[in-house]
Amino acid sequence: MSYHADDKGYYGEFGGAFIPEMLYPNVEELRSKYLEIMYEDSFQKDFHQLLKDYVGRPSPLYFAKRLSEKHGCKIYLKREDLNHTGAHKVNNTIGQILMAKKLGKTRIIAETGAGQHGVATATVCALMGMQCIVYMGEIDIARQAPNVARMKMLGAEVRPALSGSRTLKDATNEAIRDWINNPLDTHYIIGSAIGPHPYPDMVTRFQSVISEEIKWQLQEKEGRELPDYVVACIGGGSNAAGSYYHFLDEEEVGIIAVEAAGKGIASGESAATSALGKIGIIHGCKTLLMQTDDGQITEPYSISAGLDYPGVGPMHSHLHQSGRAEFYSATDDEAMTAGLELSQLEGIIPAIETGHAFAIFQHKKFKADDIVVISLSGRGDKDLNTYIDYFKLA
Amino acid sequence: MTNRINQKLQENGKLLSIYFTAGYPSLNDTVHIIQDLEKCGVDMIEIGLPFSDPLADGPTIQKSSTAALGNGMTTERLFEQLAGIRETVSIPLIVMGYFNPMLQYGVDAFCKKCHEIGIDGLIMPDLPLNVYRSEYEEIFKKYGLINVFLITPQTSEERIRIIDEASDGFIYMVSSASVTGSKEGFGNTQTEYFERIATMNLKNPQIVGFGIKDADTFEAATKNAKGAIIGSAFIKHLTTNGISQIEAFVKSIRN
């Protein structure tokens, strides 16, 4: 079985490009050129140079000794939190800004939930001197104020999405509408492994640097390239896609996804798409989707703005349906507890999104000699207010 | 029987088509609005099936969709409302919506229901041409439904030819690069685009949509094309005036 996109952008029955005709020229231009551009020598050289000198890659693969002792297995942390801008998001925005330049685009739009992708996009736009407009749900603007300020300082314009639930889903709708209105000069930097083909595959390939590094780093530390498990949190699923990519065809590597259960899967306030969703169309792709029986997309909930999305990338829908990946979900409380534990055992305060990945230890027991790599996708600075409120730290 | 859309397209004169969101302003206004529009001389109606995330629509239609869903509109309810519509209405009726609600209803079941009601065609902006042709064309044809495709100023000539070949009613010509309801009048760019399409001698007539809101824009849009579609401007009229003054709106467009 293939776990990669076919030439029409399908992962099994998921994926494709369900876009209105207004977007066809842009998406088709990207589809017909992305692989060729990405694998040009000059593009690869620029991409890897920036990842090294600007982002600070390779990110360390860190053996978490105390966490390992606590949970009775060998835990390695892939330190995407140490990237410039504080999360894995920048791997993709570096790639896409170079792509936009090759396509001759001068104006960049993006959607953001927690603000990490917005900051990563504003950052590369500043780097390249490009105009940057970030759409962000009005609710998220209120709960992620530091990231809004960062985007503005980087020269980006932050436009509030006022429709629907005023969160990530609606910010994505607004970005798509902007692209319909500005088809010629604009490139849309989607921040997750979602959207119409070729976005899920393109974003996954840019993020695949994560698993590429894990392989040789683990070889250095353990004398083997393959861990027993790779664990990542999933909203749309870009850090997960990048962390899994080079292990997908290695069936002996267990793939583990942790979604946001919010207040509990059955609570009506959740974002656990694999448990609650069924196949449908969102933002141009066919994937598992939280919706009513009537096909209206429902409002998700999670304490973490970055996982607060009613769909999941089509690759992950396929990994779920085919049984290649094990899917778990962690509640707000479990994720917050896991974040506190990581802070106090290893001195690393994770993003709340990332806390969900660490909640795996509340759900699954690993064997003593299991090597478990966890994608530490982002740092928790942006979430301090939420942590303060939750743990009454003030 | 020839599809009502094809019959209508044979008639002389320019066609006025009106879009409205089913379930707005009130849940049960659907049939009244359709009957009134026909009485006022409208040639064709697009019944909007509301969707939670209408990507190609501007704020006016978004808001009417959200309100309609809040009023309790569903796919099944719309079909119930339309059940007897052919006893009183004879102009072409088109259902316009997004693909996900249709997919959840079941594409075959949805088309079958449309056929039973007497719907003539569908416009599903996010059901792309290639997917339609490979997976759904046979179902649409089985139930005698015309699928209407869109073109925009950015659509290449090559693709317009492909779309023309795949169409068997009219081509929905999006007037400018925009979501619905967002442009002020028509400039030279639109005029050039309208003329360019007119000289292509397409087999299907074109009906222009997006940005038509009054007599001037209707006239400009139909100078070359067979007709024009008004959506957001009509929704705004309903928002301000309710459903009792539909005739005044239609007369302001075309006497």
pLDDT tens column, A272-298: 999 999 999 999 999 999 999 999 999
Q: Note whether A25 and B156 are within 8 A (CB).
A: yes
Q: Is A353 helix (H, G, I), strand (E, B) or coil?
A: helix
Tell me which residue range forms the domain holding B127. 14-253
Note the pLDDT of residue A305.
85
Note the pLDDT of residue A143.
81
Nearest residue of B to residue A296, measured between CA atoms? B52
Residue B136 sits at the chain A interface (C-beta within 8 Å) = no
Nearest residue of B to residue A310, measured between CA atoms? B53
Residue A291 sits at the chain B interface (C-beta within 8 Å) = yes
Residue A85 confidence (pLDDT) above 70: yes
- Kindly state whether residue B194 falls inside one of the protein's structural domains: yes
Q: Could you read off the pLDDT tens digit of each residue along chain B, which spans 255 residues? A: 689 999 999 999 999 999 999 999 999 999 999 999 999 999 999 999 999 999 999 999 999 999 999 999 999 999 999 999 999 999 999 999 999 999 999 999 999 999 999 999 999 999 999 999 999 999 999 999 999 999 999 999 999 999 999 999 999 999 988 887 776 778 888 889 999 999 999 999 999 999 999 999 999 999 999 999 999 999 999 999 999 999 999 999 986
CATH number for the domain spanning B181: value is 3.20.20.70
- Kindly state whether residue B121 falls inside one of the protein's structural domains: yes
Note the pLDDT of residue B1.
61
Burial of B1 (0-12, 13-18, 19+ CB in 10 A): exposed
CB-CB: which of B62, B100, B174 is closest to A295? B100
Q: Is B67 helix (H, G, I), strand (E, B) or coil?
A: helix
Count CB pairs under 8 A between chains A and B: 108
- Kindly state whether residue B18 falls inside one of the protein's structural domains: yes
Residues of chain B neighbouring A186 (CB-CB closer than 8 A): none
Note the pLDDT of residue B183.
66
Q: Is A381 helix (H, G, I), strand (E, B) or coil?
A: helix
Strand blocks (E) in chain A: 10-11, 14-15, 61-63, 74-78, 107-112, 131-137, 157-161, 186-189, 229-234, 254-262, 278-282, 285-289, 325-331, 371-375
Residue B195 sits at the chain A interface (C-beta within 8 Å) = no
- Kindly state whether residue B7 falls inside one of the protein's structural domains: no
CA A82-A83-A89 angle, 5° bins: 125
Q: Is A154 helix (H, G, I), strand (E, B) or coil?
A: coil
CB contact under 8 Å between A24 and B125, yes or no, is no
Note the pLDDT of residue A156.
98
Burial of B234 (0-12, 13-18, 19+ CB in 10 A): buried
Residues of chain A neighbouring B62 (CB-CB closer than 8 A): 163
DSSP label at B132?
I
Residue B98 sits at the chain A interface (C-beta within 8 Å) = yes
Name A63's Cβ contacts closer than 8 Å, sequence gap at least 6: A74, A75, A76, A221
Q: How far apart are CA A20 and CA A199, in angstroms?
A: 16
Does the annotation count B164 as an active-site position?
no
Does the annotation count A111 as an active-site position?
yes
CB contact under 8 Å between A293 and B126, yes or no, is no
> Residue range A229-253: average pLDDT?
97
> Residue range A347-374: average pLDDT?
98
* Tokens at A306, concatenated: 């970055």
Alpha helices in chain B (DSSP H): 4-10, 30-39, 59-70, 75-82, 99-105, 107-117, 129-131, 137-142, 157-166, 188-198, 215-221, 232-241, 246-253
Rounded to a whole number, what is the distance in Å from the CA of A219 to chain B's nearest CA? 44
CB contact under 8 Å between B66 and A24, yes or no, is no
Nearest residue of B to residue A288, measured between CA atoms? B100
CB contact under 8 Å between B149 and A294, yes or no, is no
CB-CB: which of A16, A163, A181 is closest to B62? A163
Residues of chain A neighbouring B58 (CB-CB closer than 8 A): 177
Q: What are the Cα distances from residue B185, in Å, to A190, B210, B211, B233?
A: 32, 10, 7, 12
Note the pLDDT of residue A166.
87
Residue A72 sits at the chain B interface (C-beta within 8 Å) = no
Nearest residue of A to residue B178, measured between CA atoms? A181
CB-CB: which of B53, B75, B177 is closest to A22? B177
Rounded to a whole number, what is the distance in Å from the CA of A128 to chain B's nearest CA? 27
CB contact under 8 Å between B66 and A164, yes or no, is yes
- Kindly state whether residue B50 falls inside one of the protein's structural domains: yes
Rounded to a whole number, what is the distance in Å from the CA of A56 to chain B's nearest CA? 37
Nearest residue of A to residue B73, measured between CA atoms? A294
- Kindly state whether residue B134 falls inside one of the protein's structural domains: yes
Note the pLDDT of residue A68.
98
CB contact under 8 Å between B66 and A293, yes or no, is no
- Kindly state whether residue B5 falls inside one of the protein's structural domains: no
CB-CB: which of B62, B103, B154 is closest to A281? B103
Residues 142-171 on A with a CB inside 8 Å of B are 163-164, 169
Rounded to a whole number, what is the distance in Å from the CA of B62 to chain A's nearest CA? 8
How many domains in chain B? 1
Residues of chain A neighbouring B53 (CB-CB closer than 8 A): 164, 169, 173, 282-283, 297
| ipTM score above 0.90 | yes
Q: How far apart are CA B181 and CA B211, in angstroms?
A: 6
CB contact under 8 Å between A281 and B126, yes or no, is yes
Q: How far apart are CA B135 and CA B130, in angstroms?
A: 8
Q: How far apart are CA A151 and CA A115, in angstroms?
A: 8
- Kindly state whether residue B21 falls inside one of the protein's structural domains: yes
To the nearest whole percent, how much of chain A has pLDDT over 90?
93
* Tokens at B102, concatenated: 């249709």
Q: Which of B36, B43, B57, B120 is catalytic?
A: B57
What is the per-residue pLDDT across A147-162, written as a single tens digit (0 to 9) for each?
A: 999 999 999 999 999 9
Q: Is A289 helix (H, G, I), strand (E, B) or coil?
A: strand
What is the per-residue pLDDT across A320-335, written as a single tens digit (0 to 9) for each?
A: 999 999 999 999 999 9
Q: Note whether A256 and A364 are within 8 A (CB).
A: yes
To the nearest whole percent, how much of chain A has pLDDT over 70?
100
Q: How far apart are CA B167 and CA B226, in angstroms?
A: 15
